Structure 1
Amino acid sequence: MENQKPWLRHYPEQIPHLITLEERPLFDYLKQAANEHPSKTAIHFLGKELSYTELYMQSLKFANYLQSLGIQKGDRVSIMLPNCPQAVIAYFGVLLSGGIVVQTNPLYMERELEFQLNDSGSTYIVTLDLLYPRVSKMKALTKIQHIIVTGIKDYLPFPKNLLYPFVQKRQNQVVVKVEHHDDTHLFKKIMLNALPEVDEPKINPGEDVALLQYTGGTTGFPKGVMLTHNNIAANTQMCAAWMYNCKKGEESILGIIPFFHVYGMTTVLNLTVMQAYKMILLPKFDPTETLKTIHKLKPTLFPGAPTIYISLLNQPDIKEYDLSSIDSCISGSAALPVEVQEQFEAITGGKLVEGYGLSEASPVTHANFFWEKRKPGSVGVPWPNTEAFILSMETGRKAEPNELGEILVRGPQVMKGYWNRKEETEATLKNGWLFTGDIGYMDEDGYFYIVDRKKDTIIASGYNVYPREIEEVLYEHEKVQEVVVAGIPDPYRGETVKAYIVLKEGVSATSEEFNEYARQHLAAYKVPRYYEFRKELPKTAVGKILRRALIEEEKEKLKDAK
């Protein structure tokens, strides 16, 4: 066993090699937390608190209302919200009603939103009043039948709830007023009028999909990853086992990583409820607000992405805040620089370790140990119940230690498949093994290292960005003849987006012109940061544009600049 899984000899006795996984629907964990810790705070949001009893009752009300609208088991419900109490209530409410959650990024522009809603077949969407003008257009373009609207102020304490519209105006945000009628429903009214009673659906946890989590792939188009109740529960139980020093019912998690990112959904939303922790939610990342929140509310757990930790460390007044409550942080979404890890641990006194995962695995498969042997630069070792190996690029067989190849993983957290994409599912899942598309190696001790990606996916500030999607938008610009988008190294974002453009003959253009155009059609994190105009692009003999050659050029420029 150890020869095949050399990492197991490094496991401390507190972490089991195999966890006995429970076959339960996800909403069962909320019911359990409400029964065992009824008055404990489940959510803290900008001064407003909800107990586990309140969270469960409001989730039941939301489920009751969906059932009164006619939701059927398996119907898809998009949740297009930042981190706020309504996002948690809607998540469990949808599951309690028998629906499937479709996490939807609030930054999506109309084009992106239309694609995801049509691909998922969502018939309901929960969104913010600020986003209603954009979302309401989807009724004519998709299968959306009902829009449920809430506002940040709905869950703010007095007097913040009264002052919030004035704050919006001061920040030049449009204050949108939405009326409750046949196909548009106000979240606040639902909570006032619905009953906390539900016809609980019969769930097969191993087969029934709880979540469609959209991700990208070799085609560049986002795909719906089908995660079952068991997939998500298994990964959350692994996370709890890994953090064995954390006490059930006693920890508090700082929830900055958005729930529409699978990492935030598992390590904040589901872990909190499963372990009866408190989640301290912030609707967006602001370095100063984050430091103030840690100083005041003393969270003990802080999952994040490298850009978050880097941003906090670069605040000139960071030493004025007491960050000593932070005990454990898992960094995901992108490579964690060793110096960032060391600086953050020095200033908080807590542990910051790097992990690895992907949406197709709910998402975590590997992590470094918090309190035992760690290897800087490594993503650690496989979690309990998880198998992994390197498929050699040379031989197509299991690689030797330190030999490069594709990382394959297998475990109960691995997805059921891609939504309505049989061929791509068969290409990615073989005999239960998930072909990750990531290139790396395993050392003699069983620690894994990521070197590159087979996919062209760009990971900028922890967000997955798919070049082909951006290229299609830019190709629609009347001045573009050819375009290729690549991820180039960036010291802060990990990678950033650059577009290389060949203009049509006889026209001229500026970066500013393309930047304005891209912002009309793409979420802000997908908009290229740089534009380079060229007479031609490097290509293969058959005319395929060599994206990798451009990336190598950028790396050489960086070397020369040093």
Structure 2
Amino acid sequence: MSAYDERPWLSGYDEGMPAEMTPEYASALEMFRAAARRSPDAPVLKYFDGRITMAELDEVSDAFAAALLARGFAAGDRLALFLQNVPQFVIATVAAWKAGGIVVPINPMYRERELATVLTDCGAKAVVCLENGHPVVSAAVPGTAAELVVSTSELEYQTRNDPRIFSSPPRVRPDGTLDMATLIAEHRGGRPPEVRLQPDDIAFLPYTSGTTGPPKGSMNTHRNVVFNAQVYRDWMRLGPNDTVYGVAPLFHITGLIGHLSLALLLPAPLVLTYRFEPLVAAEAIQEHQATFTIGAITVFIAWTNTAQVCKEDLSSLRVVYSGGAPLPNAAVEAFEKKFGHYIHNGYGLTETTSPSHAVPLTKTAPVDPDSGAVSVGVPAPSTVVRVVGEDGRDLPPGEIGEIVTEGPQVAAGYWNNPEETANAMPGGRFHTGDVGFMDEQGWFYLVDRKKDQINAAGYKVWPREVEDVLYEHPAVREAAVVGVADRYRGETVKAFVSFKPGASATEEEVIEFCRQRLAAYKYPRQVEILDDLPKTVTGKILRRELRPGGAVNQ
């Protein structure tokens, strides 16, 4: 038996936290229904001055599910959500489950080629998008299996129309779409046929680059979702009297579980503000007296550096966690100094359905004296995490290797990709591709990533995808992309290019070319022009020599 089988981290658990945890419901839909029966009048969504109760969410999601089924949607079909943090995201999620379907959350910053890739791979039958996102959808849908496009507006479910968040063009339903509000009104009072989703059925199909290659659909089951919603509830000691501020994007695994699923479980209000703007977000926390949030460290840095956001604005917060990107200790200290709240670290991936590790609520994360890394915490209940060497064998505490996670939160695999599933999750153990170590007390630390993947403010960027766009530039001969340190984003994208003979472009022109074709977090913020890129004898470009400290940068 190795040190990991003995689970030394259990001694660091908060009092009352069990070593084992069992999902209380067979599905996330059953979880929602139980909460709706328990607390029908409880508000579950707060959107500026708008409110939706559990009973109202039950009714409108029934109507939308009935509308989808009436138009050919069937059990097992995929519903793609191309939405920001709006109530319609939650309504459509519950409706998809009621129709026996699978929710495919998609980053609304995606451009046509990125969206088309996901829609093609998952075979989505229907898409729900914001009216202002429809131009991308209309360009991406042709050639995919999507037969139904439903549009909606971020201006619905509220009347405040805060100009700091919303622009004010006239609302126009895009051609070729159905209006979500109209569909709900037409089917209001109707109920879809009863479905009984099973624990191993897929609840969410978010796309991730994982540890290798192009985006893959992570099959996050209903068991995964219910289990980790309970982890959030019990680990953070949250209940129906709490209020969740939804700062993480709902299309991201943190938002899906730590905001949406958690709110449906408790039930408790989920406060949404469409997108993050530091002052608006702080005002929403104060107005609605939010007690819990979890988001990328960039959110907390933004609040720290926004003079108009004061301690009083965030005073209602009781539990604050961060995940998705490395947590600089200086940022933790600066936030605590200004607001009085300690940011607890957490760690997980799309394939672990959000948290696999977190700092116990009553504890402060230790900091590794050698690397300065803040511990990501200890493994969740019913979870065994190992650090393994290149030979796959467990390494002793203190030694650096790949982090491998095994537990009820590990996804079932990658959609229609058995080869990648076998590579990343042999025997149900997820090989994260992240490198770190465990100390003698069971605290885990991340020190690097195994592959070339870039982590920009919690968003994963695969260099090849950016390079493919760079190669489309008429002047570019060679291209390579690496991650470089960034004070705000943790890491950002840097491109190295060489030009074709007689061709030229400015660094700014190359950046703008990519900005028009990639999501905002993917396009390079820095471009360096070289006569030639470093290569192996076989002609393969050497990214490692382009990274800070590499031969080209020395």
1:70 is matched with 72
Distance 2:2 2:422 in 1: 30
Matched letter for residue 132 of structure 2: L
2:214 aligned to which of 214, 221, 237? 221
Distance 1:164 1:325 in 2: 25
Distance 1:37 1:23, change over 3 A: closer
2:347 aligned to which of 340, 352, 356? 356
Residues 58-457 of structure 1: pairs in structure 2 closer than 5 A: 58-157=60-159, 160=160, 168-169=167-168, 175=170, 177-178=172-173, 184-194=177-187, 195-205=189-199, 207-244=200-237, 246=238, 248-319=239-310, 321-372=312-363, 374-376=365-367, 377-393=374-390, 396-457=392-453
Deviation at 1:140, TM superposition (A): 2.1
The structure richer in helix per residue is 1
1:510 aligned to which of 506, 509, 520? 506
Distance 2:414 2:512 in 1: 34
Distance 2:231 2:163 in 1: 40
- TM-score of the superposed pair, with normalisation by structure 1: 0.93
2:16 is matched with 14
- Secondary structure at 2:548 match in 1: helix
**Aligned residues of 1:327 and 1:349 also touching (Cα < 8 A):** no
Matched letter for residue 472 of structure 1: D
Deviation at 1:235, TM superposition (A): 1.2
2:490 is matched with 494
Deviation at 1:2, TM superposition (A): 9.7
**Aligned residues of 1:2 and 1:8 also touching (Cα < 8 A):** no
Matched letter for residue 385 of structure 1: S
Distance 2:206 2:507 in 1: 33
Deviation at 1:167, TM superposition (A): 6.0
Task: Give CA deviations for 1:425-477 in whole Å, capped at 9, x if unaligned.
Answer: 10011122111111111111111110111121111121111111010111111
| Structure 1 residue 50 corresponds to structure 2 residue 52 | yes
1:39 is matched with 41
Identity %: 39
Distance 1:209 1:331 in 2: 26
Matched letter for residue 226 of structure 1: M
Task: Give CA deviations for 1:287-322 in whole Å, capped at 9, x if unaligned.
Answer: 111122223222100111110000100012333643
**Aligned residues of 1:362 and 1:415 also touching (Cα < 8 A):** yes
- Name which of structure 1's ranges 371-380 and 384-393 shifts more when overlaid on structure 2: 371-380
**Aligned residues of 1:168 and 1:175 also touching (Cα < 8 A):** no
Matched letter for residue 172 of structure 2: K
- Secondary structure at 2:294 match in 1: coil
Distance 2:132 2:204 in 1: 25
Runs of at least 4 residues off by over 4 Å = 163-167, 554-557
Distance 1:362 1:518 in 2: 31
Deviation at 1:218, TM superposition (A): 4.8
Distance 1:469 1:217 in 2: 14
Deviation at 1:232, TM superposition (A): 1.1
- Secondary structure at 1:322 match in 2: helix
- Secondary structure at 1:521 match in 2: coil
Matched letter for residue 307 of structure 1: T
Deviation at 1:355, TM superposition (A): 0.8
- Secondary structure at 1:418 match in 2: coil
**Aligned residues of 1:130 and 1:175 also touching (Cα < 8 A):** no
2:371 is matched with none
Distance 1:526 1:75 in 2: 29
Deviation at 1:552, TM superposition (A): 3.0
Distance 1:516 1:8 in 2: 50
- Name which of structure 1's ranges 542-551 and 234-243 shifts more when overlaid on structure 2: 542-551
Matched letter for residue 494 of structure 1: G
Deviation at 1:550, TM superposition (A): 1.5
Report the aligned-residue RMSD. 2.1
Distance 1:22 1:482, change over 3 A: same
Task: Give CA deviations for 1:74-130 in whole Å, capped at 9, x if unaligned.
Answer: 101101111111110001110111111000111111111111100110110000111
